Structure 1
Amino acid sequence: MIVKEVIGILEELAPLAYAEDFDNVGLLVGDQQNEVSGILVTLDTLENVVDEAIATNCNLIVSFHPIIFGGLKKITGANYVQRIVIKAIQHNISIYSMHTALDNSNQGVNAKICEVLGLANTKILIPQKGTIKKLSTYVPKNDANQLKSHLYEAGAGNIGNYSNCSFTVEGTGSYKANEKANPVKGEIGTIHFEEETKISITFEKAAEKNVIKALLENHPYEEVAYEVITLENTNQNIGMGMYGILANPMTEHEFMEFLKEKMDVKCVRHSNLLGKPIKTVAVLGGSGSFAIGAAKAVNADVFITADLKYHQFYEAEGKILLTDIGHYETEQFTKNLLVDYLTKKIPNFAVRLSESKTNPIKYF
């Protein structure tokens, strides 16, 4: 198995098309064509993680956080990022990062937190905009069904629990081929009228490359007329954070103890207790202050996240319990999720959970 094949498997879980614009995801170090001897999964790629990869004969590191975030203008070993990149290159180790692509996956970081907490009826907290697109194209009537089949195979036409969804309208198309053309139907220099079917079909943003490829390869015309537009429709399957329901309501004190136990944390920073039961729980792994309003909007009783600043706790406004359990702590189970996923997808292959400690924050 080569690096490119592993990337394909990882993108089934978390397509890079759904990563945030500010992020740096994908293959950061290495060659996609390299043969993979073993995969080491980690939350952060630090020097001790690269050393662990060397010691365990793993030449592909799958890391949640990207080791290269801003641009590298020099690689001289002047800081820890440069030293890690140099060591990885010296030992032919590839580094792949998923970060916000996995944050936005409905089977990713936040789904894992919900699983650990035992939440039911989970939904996306902040659906990502611009993830649903629509293709419209025009094809001779007799070719319409075959073309639709190819588009379905490429990932188009899926709406929730339904597949092979499309809409067609019949009409008459016209065109005139010039002397350089090679028309499938009609003659050069003459206006041709053809009974055509207009196909309208939606697809998710991540499938666009495959859908357009299928269209162009299977459409009978020499020049394919088509339109792709981005829809404003909400996609409830992709986005930041999640929220769900506890099996049984808890008091705030009971929930705090429950949270510490399940998330394996020794302390919780929180806003004022409100004296009301906890039933609906919102979560967002990593820095989640931007989602406080969204958590309040879904009437969550508590919001679990990290990196809240002093004044952001005021945003609770007596409507929600804000809890900050730490950045690493909210994302700590992510590497377990990835190991389980890769092991199921490529059984009998060397997939290892990193044993290296990467949390930079210590507690006294």
Structure 2
Amino acid sequence: MRIKDVISTIETIAPLDYAEDFDNVGLLIGDQSTKVTGVLVTLDTLESVVDEAIEKNCNLIVSFHPIIFSGLKKITGKNYVERVVIKAIQNNIAIYTMHTALDNSFVGVNAKICEVLGLENREVLIPQKSTIKKLITYVPYKYAEALRKALFEVGGGSIGNYDNCSFSIEGTGSFKPNDKSNPVVGQKGETHYGTEIQINITFPKHLENKVLSILKKEHPYEEIAYEIMTLENHNQHIGIGMVGELQEAQKAEEFLKIVKQRMNVGVIRHSKLLEKEIKKVAVLGGSGAFAINSAIASGADLYITADIKYHEFYKAENKLVIADIGHYETEQYTKNLLVDFLTKKFTNFAIVLSVCNTNPVKYL
């Protein structure tokens, strides 16, 4: 197994196309063609994590957070980032990260929080825009079914919980081949009219290259007439944050005690507790102040996130409870999620859960 095999597997649940623009994701250090000796999964890549990878014979570190976030102009070891990069390169250890691509995954960071807290009926809190593409193409009648089937096989026509979705219209197409053409039907220099099927099919944007590749492979024409457009429709399975429901409503204080225990939290900073019970809960791993209004709009009774500043707690406006449980704490189970996923995919290979606690925040 090579690094590229691990990467392609991870990207089935966290395609990098859905990472935020500000992020730095993908293979940060290493050669994807390198044979893998072992995979160490961590939340952050620190020197101690690289040491652990060396000790456990893992030459690939899969890290949720990117160790290289902004550009490096010099690598002299003057700070923790440069020291990690130097040590990883010296020991031939590759580092891969997916960060906000997994944040925006329906089975990613926020789904894991919901699982730990027992939240059901989950929905994306803030759907990511421009994630759905639409292909319109025109094909002779007798080739239409084969082309549709080929597009379905690479993921075209997937909408929410439905697959193989398309819409077709029959009509008359025309074209006039010139002297340099090699037409499948019709004659050079003559306008040809024939029955064609217009196929309409949507697909997630990360599959665009696959969809175009199969279109060019399966379509009989030398020149293929097609259009691709980006839709503004919300994608219910791609976006940041998640909203779910408790099986039974609970008093705010009692539920926060459960959150503290299940999320292994030392302290919870929260806004004023309201008298109404908690039933609907919004969660967003990491820094989530930007989504407070979205949590309110979703009808959530409680919003669990991290890195809330003093004045941002006022935004609760007595409409919900804001609970800041800590950045590390909201994301800590992400590495368990990745280990479980990779272990199922690579049953006879060493997928190691890092034992290093990389939380930089300590509590007295």
Class of the TM-score when normalised by the shorter of the 2 chains: over 0.9
| Alignment partner, residue 116 of structure 2 | 116
Worse-matched range after superposition: 72-81 or 46-55:
72-81
Q: Alpha-carbon deviations, 1:319-346, whole Å to 9, x = none?
A: 1100101000000000001000000111
Moved over 6 A (4+): none
How far apart, in 1, do the equivalents of 2:54 and 2:290 lie?
39
| Alignment partner, residue 92 of structure 2 | 92
| Alignment-mate amino acid for residue 270 of structure 2 | H
| Alignment-mate amino acid for residue 60 of structure 2 | L
Worse-matched range after superposition: 306-315 or 173-182:
173-182
| Alignment-mate amino acid for residue 74 of structure 2 | K
| Alignment partner, residue 343 of structure 1 | 343
| Alignment-mate amino acid for residue 35 of structure 1 | K
TM normalised by structure 1 equals 0.98
| Alignment partner, residue 3 of structure 1 | 3
Q: Alpha-carbon deviations, 1:222-273, whole Å to 9, x = none?
A: 1111111111111111111111111222212211211111111111111112
**What are the residue-to-residue correspondences of 1:172-187 with 2, within 5 Å?**
172-187=172-187
Q: 1:313 is paired with a residue of what secondary structure?
A: helix
> Cα RMSD between the aligned structures?
1.1
| Alignment-mate amino acid for residue 6 of structure 2 | V
Task: Identify unmatched segments of 5+ residues in structure 2.
Answer: none
**What are the residue-to-residue correspondences of 1:1-364 with 2, within 5 Å?**
1-364=1-364
Q: CA deviation at 1:208?
A: 1.3
| Alignment-mate amino acid for residue 27 of structure 1 | L
Q: CA deviation at 1:165?
A: 1.3
| Alignment-mate amino acid for residue 106 of structure 1 | F
How far apart, in 1, do the equivalents of 2:309 and 2:241 lie?
19
How far apart, in 1, do the equivalents of 2:82 and 2:187 lie?
62
How far apart, in 2, do the equivalents of 1:182 and 1:61 lie?
51
Q: CA deviation at 1:178?
A: 2.4
| Alignment-mate amino acid for residue 72 of structure 1 | L
How far apart, in 2, do the equivalents of 1:223 and 1:86 lie?
51
How far apart, in 1, do the equivalents of 2:192 and 2:247 lie?
65
Q: CA deviation at 1:191?
A: 2.0
Structure 2 contact 160–235 (Cα < 8 Å) conserved: no
Q: 2:11 is paired with a residue of what secondary structure?
A: helix
Q: 1:13 is paired with a residue of what secondary structure?
A: coil
| Alignment-mate amino acid for residue 242 of structure 1 | M
Q: CA deviation at 1:180?
A: 2.2
Q: Alpha-carbon deviations, 1:87-114, whole Å to 9, x = none?
A: 1112111111010000011111000000
| Alignment-mate amino acid for residue 346 of structure 2 | I
How far apart, in 2, do the equivalents of 1:163 and 1:244 lie?
25
Q: CA deviation at 1:168?
A: 0.9
Q: CA deviation at 1:75?
A: 2.1
Structure 2 contact 343–349 (Cα < 8 Å) conserved: yes
Percentage of matched positions with identical amino acids: 64
Q: CA deviation at 1:193?
A: 1.9
Q: CA deviation at 1:160?
A: 2.6
Q: CA deviation at 1:283?
A: 0.4
Q: CA deviation at 1:184?
A: 1.7
| Alignment-mate amino acid for residue 156 of structure 1 | G
How far apart, in 2, do the equivalents of 1:55 and 1:126 lie?
41
How far apart, in 2, do the equivalents of 1:12 and 1:346 lie?
14
How many residue pairs get aligned? The number is 364
Q: Alpha-carbon deviations, 1:118-169, whole Å to 9, x = none?
A: 1111111111111111100011111111111110011101223322111111
Q: 1:24 is paired with a residue of what secondary structure?
A: coil
How far apart, in 2, do the equivalents of 1:163 and 1:282 lie?
28
How far apart, in 2, do the equivalents of 1:356 and 1:180 lie?
65
Q: CA deviation at 1:76?
A: 2.3
Q: CA deviation at 1:19?
A: 0.8
How far apart, in 2, do the equivalents of 1:269 and 1:60 lie?
36
Q: CA deviation at 1:209?
A: 1.4
Q: Alpha-carbon deviations, 1:156-190, whole Å to 9, x = none?
A: 01223322111111111122222222222222222
Q: CA deviation at 1:77?
A: 2.0
